[in-house]
Copies of this chain bind each other. A is one copy, B any other.
Amino acid sequence: MTRNLFLSVLALSLCMSLSAQKTCYYDAASLNVIGKAIPTSKDYTRIDTSAYKFNDAVIEEFACHSTGLAVLFATDSPFIKARWQTSPKNASENMTAIAQKGLDLYIRQDGEWVFAGVGRPDMDKGPDYACHEGTIVKSMALGRKECILYLPLYDRLDSLFIGVEEGSYIEPLENPFRHRIVVKGSSVTHGLAASRPGMSYAARFGRDNGLYCFNLGFSGKSKLQKEYAEYLADIEADAFIFDAFSNPSAEIIHENFDTFVDIIRAAHPDVPLIFMQTERRESRNFDTWREDFEARKQAAAEQEIRDRMKTDRHIYFLPSDDFLGDEHIATSDGSHPTDLGFTYMLESISPKILKILRKYGIK
């Protein structure tokens, strides 16, 4: 809190001299922060846990992650720097710290978002260090740059200041993404093994297709709980995409599925609900217990959806046979798709999802 205050005062009052170029830092919250399905009181929190209760400390911690959030701005500065503060938590062993608590910048070029650079969290100072600072891109040509900066995928973000050259402008950029697509899921959706915050499949699907996607991935905690359904019911949404069957067992799928859909349907009677089958995990390759558990889970998921599709013509099912390719090289640990896994997955799901969305005028 003291540190936040210090950084705010710094941003308001101080331009730093670094070599010949002076850097002025601006509070990113004063720019255009996108990616919240419902507004929250804190700048970089996905879900307001004072308004929505989940009765689970881990879910409430994840709700405060900046997953899927991004800052839109334009500047004519020749460089972009950042100072930001996260939790002091170390990165998980199956993900990069850049994905967990770093920043990922893209600049619009001929209508396409092109990767420009990353904000590297400072891990050398040990796991108790939470203040990061770095140059994301430098030596850029003159002129206006329209930027999207993706925020940490798997950590909370307590503050963020963007540094530009003294005398340059920095201003909010209008959200260019269309419609409102909710992506609700597990660690796969959370983007655990993406290499950078903008490489989760939800971010890529949105960026590649110009669609406004909200990332509601909750690692290990996405079990069709009614508390999520109640939150989803409150969202103004044009479509829902679900990675809903990665975390629950077959038994929990049977127990929770109908109530979960009932709650959403009461609020959104005609909105398409697109359910992806969970991926075929690579941890099944030799583990017979896992093979049985996963096969039963997938069967339960397909059965529940097929049943529901008989009476609900706005529910869709996407098989997952080709989500991870066939070479067994698409995960960081047997479960979590890497950028390669997400590439395979997007090659499979993007055309199918876009075809469904077009039926609803979403394009």
- List residues of chain B with CB within 8 A of the CB of A126: 90, 126-127
Contact check, B90 vs A90: say whether CB atoms are below 8 A apart: yes
* A288 contact from B141, B145, B286, Cβ within 8 A: B141
Q: State which residues 130-161 of A face B: CB under 8 Å.
A: 137-141, 145
Interface flags, A261-301, vs B, CB<8A=1, else 0: 00000000000000000000011011111100000000000
Q: Which of A173-181, A308-316, A325-333 contacts B (4 or more CB under 8 A)?
A: A325-333
State whether A137 touches B102 (Cβ < 8 A).
Answer: no
Known: A118-B334, A195-B338, A339-B338. A91 touches B98 (CB 8 A): no
Return A93 CB to nearest CB of chain B, in Å.
Answer: 4
Residue contact A328 to B118, C-beta cutoff 8 Å? no
Q: Which B residues are CB-close (under 8 A) to A283? A: 117
Q: Is A199 an interface residue (CB 8 A)?
A: yes
Q: Which residue of B lies closest to A283 (CB)?
A: B117
Are B340 and A138 closer than 8 Å at their CB atoms? no
- Cβ of A114 within 8 Å of any chain B Cβ, yes or no, is yes
- For chain A, residues 28 to 68, give those with C-beta under 8 angstroms from any C-beta of chain B: none
59-99 of chain A: CB within 8 A of chain B: 90-98
Q: How many copies does the complex hold?
A: 2
**How far is A139 from B137 in the complex, measured between Cα atoms in Å?**
48
Contacts of A138 on B, CB cut-off 8 Å? 287, 289
Docked-complex contact B116 and A93, CB < 8 angstroms: no
Q: Is A228 an interface residue (CB 8 A)?
A: no
Query: Taking the complex as formed, is A343 at the interface, i.e. its CB lies under 8 A from any CB of chain B?
Result: yes
Structural contact, B340 and A116, CB atoms closer than 8 A: no
Beta-carbon contact of A332 and B98 below 8 Å: yes
Question: Does A124 sit at the interface, judged by CB under 8 A?
Answer: yes
A139 to B282: give the CA distance in the assembly, Å. 14
In the complex, what residues of B have CB within 8 A of residue A90's CB? 90, 123-124, 126-127
Q: Is A223 an interface residue (CB 8 A)?
A: no
- Are B93 and A93 in contact, CB atoms less than 8 angstroms apart? no
Name the distance in Å between A327's Cβ and chain B's nearest Cβ: 9
Q: How far, in Å, is A77 (CB) from chain B's closest CB?
A: 12
> Does A217 count as interface, using CB distance less than 8 angstroms?
no
User: Given contacts A117-B334, A338-B338, are A288 and B139 in contact (CB under 8 A)?
Assistant: yes
Given the interface pairs A90-B90, A93-B98, A123-B93, the reply to whether A107 lies near B332 with Cβ below 8 Å is no
The 6 sampled A-B contact pairs (Cβ below 8 Å) are A93-B97, A93-B123, A94-B118, A114-B328, A139-B287, A140-B287
Any B CB within 8 A of the CB of A120: yes
Contact between chains at A333 and B98 (CB < 8 Å): yes
The answer to whether B93 touches A95 (Cβ under 8 A) is no
A115 at the interface (CB under 8 A from B): yes
**Closest-CB distance, A3 to chain B (whole angstroms):** 21
Apart from A94-B98, A116-B286, A139-B287, list 15 A-B contacts with CB within 8 A. A92-B97, A93-B121, A93-B122, A94-B97, A94-B118, A107-B286, A114-B328, A115-B328, A118-B332, A120-B333, A138-B289, A195-B338, A196-B332, A204-B329, A339-B339
- What 10 pairs between A and B have smallest CB-CB spacing? A195-B332, A139-B289, A93-B97, A340-B340, A339-B340, A115-B328, A195-B338, A338-B339, A93-B120, A139-B287
C-alpha spacing A329/B197, complex, angstroms: 12
Verify B118–A287 contact, CB threshold 8 A.
no
